[in-house]
Structure 1
Amino acid sequence: MFSSSKSYKLSFTFSLCFQKVPLLASRAFSSSARQLRNKVPEFQKIFQEDNGLPVHIKGGTFDVLLYRATMTLTLGGTCYSVYWLLFASMPQRKA
């Protein structure tokens, strides 16, 4: 079936995999958390400065685009709903 060198390579590969899997799993689920820099004071300075902008668009370009997309979808959906309410309230035509 297998030659002796192939069998050795195959068994070596399997043993290597089975040795590494528990090590990798223990690293992935370790109890120590990654230390992240606290960005809260920076964001507090950005959002509390008085520059005349509403708080929901002080975050920058992405916040402005997200706000405009949300308003567009909201107004479009409202107009679409009103159209179908008016359409449904009209009497049906007799054919």
Structure 2
Amino acid sequence: MSALERFDSPVTPLRDDVWAVGSAQRCVHYQLQVEAEPDSLCRVLNLFALQFLTPHKVQMTQSGDVLAVDIEIAGLSWHRAELIAQKMRNLICVDEVHLALVQRLD
């Protein structure tokens, strides 16, 4: 049984972005430099999980004692994406966060 099936709903509802009602939903790309600790990636991804968000792309590479993490997620307003980036910057294990829009050719 998956976590989604436990809520008696086939799909977990997305939380509304009450600060940016009517704003365009975007696909954003986070680029992070994170300390290479066992829990660093979990701490970053938990910021999305707490809001019932699932990134569609996560890539991580380790170079020495630093993790380079790339995360893409669609369906966010720019305001909400910035709030998540700020929460990332507040994590003790995160050294650097860059946020950019993803230009889709679809």
Q: When the two structures are superposed, what TM-score results if normalisation uses the length of structure 1?
A: 0.19
Higher relative contact order, structure no. (Cα contacts within 8 Å, ≥ 6 residues apart): 2
Give the structure with the larger strand fraction. Answer: 2
Q: When the two structures are superposed, what TM-score results if normalisation uses the length of structure 2?
A: 0.18
Give the structure with the larger helix fraction. Answer: 1
